[in-house]
Each structure stands twice: as structure tokens, then as C-alpha cells.
């Protein structure tokens, strides 16, 4: 197993400077600023931005200070400019070509999810191993055979792969994707995938937020019962 | 706006004892332990569990110590028992009746997502405002008219709502859902919803993990360029 490592090493290099939580908050700020920008709001204070995201103004100022000096004391941050700056920091001021593996329910939802394209993540290739799906047109994209992924990925200039296949086959497909040169993978399969140390891997756990809700309800419930 | 607050207050009470990050990690442990249990693995050390989730063994021990004393020094944690304990902590050792609002792409994916049911989150009601969808059978559930949600929610014993409607109508629907007595909402719409202080609200941002990947690639890329 010596040649197979997690994505910790490379991620570690970045995290020394910017923590994962900061990156998550930048995504939140970006979304909030995009909504404000669409509404025509010109400036926002760190206090307002913090209150929208249930954070402290100090936290917002600290996160943004990482990247240089934004905004003017007393006037707040310019919404559109700050939005562009954060988009640049997150690397989404450009187009990323994305391939999706597994045209099942999750896969279909991802193809139709308009937010991705708005953020610059363009799903341009679909792959499946089901002969009934291969060759069919799915939201304007012809489904390709996963057994021949390498030339198609290279030709299309794919840089990110989304894994929407069942857990039982996910590792085999990921091995092929990595062999084809992909360095960034978003995984929806409920399995711990192994990738080389120069490949970034993120896992999407759809149950996590629901589990947070059930935790909150169960704990609030018992608090109410124990503290009359 | 005085009667309308965020979910910060109630969440705050819990977070004094257990942070959001701890709850997120418990979800990760639960998923890892479920996979191990399915494979027939009987015990796991904090070191192994930590390494699977890219955490330190000390972090794992600290998280689990919150809830009592699990495992035996030198022998590790009993997989199946620890899984059950964490499920109990997260409040998923029971069935939660869930209603889904908006039978579009995200909604359809959620209904078909088998992990939810496995974790005890049963989607038993679907609502939409599209006359072409109302009354149709969607994966065995008849789609109901969202304009008549209260009696149906009460009759079905719904405790959690998932919002898969467009951002433009999400707040109106959420106001009705809250009026019908729902205390837990998972929101997929890219909008900042307002809910009363006794309602738990979580937002699912599907772009966040992709933004983490683009951030990592852009930063790694520039590191490579600046450090030859």
C-alpha cells in the first residue's frame, strides 16, 4: 500500500496557511455576496455579512484579512468587488471541465444542478457502464462508455471527476480515473476511496446535515424534559 | 423583524457542550463504522479510525470521550456497539418522517437516495405546486399539493422538511411549513431563509466541495510555479 496515500499531504501544505473551515466560510461569503449582488446591493459591513452567516464580525474580518485588504472602515465592503476577489481565491473565476461518473439519480441531479455551471463547474462528459444508458442523450450530453474513459477525458480537457456510482464499483472507477490523469475527485459513494497523494479527494455525505438536525432535535428535546 | 430570528439561539445551547465540528465528525465515524460493521470487522483502534478519516487518534478519543467511556485500552473499540452508541447520540436510532418540497431534479435525487432511509430518514410525503406533478406517483409516493400542506403534514407525523424548490419561492413555502409546526428544515435552495428561533435550519451547499477542490488545485498549482 506504499504507493497509495490519502490527499492529506498536499492538502496539509495549504491548510498550514488557510484552514478547511476558512475555505468553507469563503464559500458561504461567496454565495451571500452573489445573492446581494443580484439584488443590486452595493456595500455590506462585516457585521451584516457575519449576521447573515451566523458568525462574528471579527471572524469575517479575520477570514478576509488572509487575502489582503478589502473594504473601507465605516463604509463596508464593496459587494461586487469582494465577490470577484473571493471567486478568484476559490479558483472559480474560470471554467472547470467536469466529468460525471454514474448516470443514476444522484448523477442526474448533478447534471441538472444549475448552480454548478454558474460557479464555473461545467459538466461536459457523462460516463456509465450500463449498455442501456451508453449512447443515450442525457440533458444534451451523450453518455459515454466508462470502459473507454481515458481518451475521452483527455480530449475533453476534464480536470474534475464527480463519482456518482455505487460504492461497490467506486474504487475501480476511481483507479481508472486517476490513471487517466485526473487530480480532483468529488465522491458521493459512501465508501473510503484510496487515491495517490497528488490527487485531491472530497467526500459529499448527504446524510450529514440531516444527522445534525436529528441530533439538535433529540438534544433540545431532552433538555426541555430535564430542565422544566 | 423582531419575531423572526435565526436558529443560532437553540443551536448555541447545544454547541456550548458539543461543537458543530464534533457533530460532523460523529457523522463521519458513523459512516466508517457502518462500512466496517458490514464487512464483519469486530474492533477498531482510535488510530485506525483516525487514519481512515484523516484525523489524529487524540481527536477521535476526545470526540468519543464526550459521551462516556467506550472501548478498552489495547483492544480498541467494538465496531457494532460504537456504531449503535453514535447513532443514538445523533438521534438516528429511530425513524424520522420527512417531507420533501419540490419534486424537481434535486428532489427526485433525494427520494431515490437510499442512504437516507438506511439512516432512519424516511421520505414519506412529496409536495409540489405544479399541477402536472400533483397526483402523480413518484417512486411510490403520490405528489401532494403544496397549497394544502398543513393537514397532510400533521396526519403523516412529519418532523423534518427538505426544501428542494427554487430560491424565489423557498421563503413562502418555509413560512407555511413553520406555521404547520415543523421544527427542522434542510434547505437546498441557494437563499438565506428566515425561521423562528425554535426551528432548526441547515443549508446544503452542493458547490462547496467543488469549490474546495478548485481552491486546492489553484493553490497547489501556484505553489508549484513559485517553488521550482
Residues in A closer than 8 angstroms to B123, CB to CB, are none
- Looking at the fold, whether B136 and B78 belong to one and the same domain comes out as no
Between CA A1 and CA B78 the distance in angstroms is: 25
C-alpha cell at B146: 403544496
From the CA of B138, how many Å to the nearest CA of chain A? 13
C-alpha cell at A76: 463596508
The whole-number pLDDT of residue B73 equals: 67
Partners of B137 in beta bridges = B142
Q: Quick: pLDDT tens for A104-132.
A: 888 888 888 888 888 899 999 999 999 99
- A10 closest CB neighbour out of B184, B218, B220: B220
Q: State the total domains in chain B.
A: 2
| Unique residue bearing C-alpha cell 401532494 | B144
Can you tell me the mean pLDDT for B89-102? 94
Q: Is residue A186 within a helix (H) or strand (E), and if so which, with residue range?
A: strand A184-187
Mutation pick from A105, A119, A139, A214 vs chain B, by most beta carbons of B within 10 Å, is A214
The residue range of the domain holding B79 is: 8-89
Can you tell me the mean pLDDT for B11-18? 49
Task: Provide ipTM, 2 decimals.
Answer: 0.84
- Looking at the fold, whether B198 and B112 belong to one and the same domain comes out as yes
Residue B103 lies in a domain: yes
Region of B65 on the Ramachandran plot (φ > 0 left; ψ -120 to 50 alpha; else beta): alpha
Between CA B54 and CA B57 the distance in angstroms is: 9
Q: In CATH, what number is assigned to the domain containing residue A152?
A: 3.40.50.720
Residue A216 lies in a domain: no
* Confidence grade of residue B98 (pLDDT, cut at 50, 70, 90): very high
Which of A59, A89, A119 is the endpoint of a domain? Answer: A89
Partners of B160 in beta bridges = B98, B184
- Looking at the fold, whether A17 and A42 belong to one and the same domain comes out as yes
Residue A3 lies in a domain: no
Can you tell me the mean pLDDT for A20-29? 87
Between CA A86 and CA B208 the distance in angstroms is: 13
Residue A217 lies in a domain: no
The whole-number pLDDT of residue A5 equals: 33
Residue B22 lies in a domain: yes
Residue B154 lies in a domain: yes
**A104–B115 CB contact, under 8 Å:** no
C-alpha cell at A47: 457585521
Mutation pick from B66, B215, B226, B227 vs chain A, by most beta carbons of A within 10 Å, is B215
Can you tell me the mean pLDDT for A198-221? 88
Residue B21 lies in a domain: yes
Q: Over pLDDT 90: what percentage of chain A?
A: 50
Between CA B108 and CA A169 the distance in angstroms is: 23
Q: Which of A185-194, B27-36, B108-117, B211-220 has the lowest mean pLDDT?
A: B108-117
- Looking at the fold, whether B85 and B103 belong to one and the same domain comes out as no
* Confidence grade of residue A8 (pLDDT, cut at 50, 70, 90): very low
- Looking at the fold, whether B62 and B122 belong to one and the same domain comes out as no
What contacts A127, CB < 8 A, 6 or more positions away? A99, A100, A101, A102, A103, A143, A144, A145, A146, A149, A152
Q: Quick: pLDDT tens for B117-158.
A: 888 999 999 999 999 999 999 989 999 999 999 999 999 999
Report whether pLDDT(A197) > 70.
yes
Q: Which of A80-89, A108-117, B86-95, B130-139 has the lowest mean pLDDT?
A: A108-117
Which of B89, B121, B147 is the endpoint of a domain? Answer: B89
- A35 closest CB neighbour out of B119, B191, B223: B191
Which of A89, A124, A140 is the endpoint of a domain? Answer: A89
Select the more confidently predicted residue: A24 or B181: B181
CB atoms within 10 A of CB B121: 25
* Contact call for residues A146 and A173 (beta carbons, < 8 A): yes
Select the more confidently predicted residue: A131 or B65: A131
Residue B198: closest CA among chain A residues belongs to which residue? A220
Amino acid at each position: 500500500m506504499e504507493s497509495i496515500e490519502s490527499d492529506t499531504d498536499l492538502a496539509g501544505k495549504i491548510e498550514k496557511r488557510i484552514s478547511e473551515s476558512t475555505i468553507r466560510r469563503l464559500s458561504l461569503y461567496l454565495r451571500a455576496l452573489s445573492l446581494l449582488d443580484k439584488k443590486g446591493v452595493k456595500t455590506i459591513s462585516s457585521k451584516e455579512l457575519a449576521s447573515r452567516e451566523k458568525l462574528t464580525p471579527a471572524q469575517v474580518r479575520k477570514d478576509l484579512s488572509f487575502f489582503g485588504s478589502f473594504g473601507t472602515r465605516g463604509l463596508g465592503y464593496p459587494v461586487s468587488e469582494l465577490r470577484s476577489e473571493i471567486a478568484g481565491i476559490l479558483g472559480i473565476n474560470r471554467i472547470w471541465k467536469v466529468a460525471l461518473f454514474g448516470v443514476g439519480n444522484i448523477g442526474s441531479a448533478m447534471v441538472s444542478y444549475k448552480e454548478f455551471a454558474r460557479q464555473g463547474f461545467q459538466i461536459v462528459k457523462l460516463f456509465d457502464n450500463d449498455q442501456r444508458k451508453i449512447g443515450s442523450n442525457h440533458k444534451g450530453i451523450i453518455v459515454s462508455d466508462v470502459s473507454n474513459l481515458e481518451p475521452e477525458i483527455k480530449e475533453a480537457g476534464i480536470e474534475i471527476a464527480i463519482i456518482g456510482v455505487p460504492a461497490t464499483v467506486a474504487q475501480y472507477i476511481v483507479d481508472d480515473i486517476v490513471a487517466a490523469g485526473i487530480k480532483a475527485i468529488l465522491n458521493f459513494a459512501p465508501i473510503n476511496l484510496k487515491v495517490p497523494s497528488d490527487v485531491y479527494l472530497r467526500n459529499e455525505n448527504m446524510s450529514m446535515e440531516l444527522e445534525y438536525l436529528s441530533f439538535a432535535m433529540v438534544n433540545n428535546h431532552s433538555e426541555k424534559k430535564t430542565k422544566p
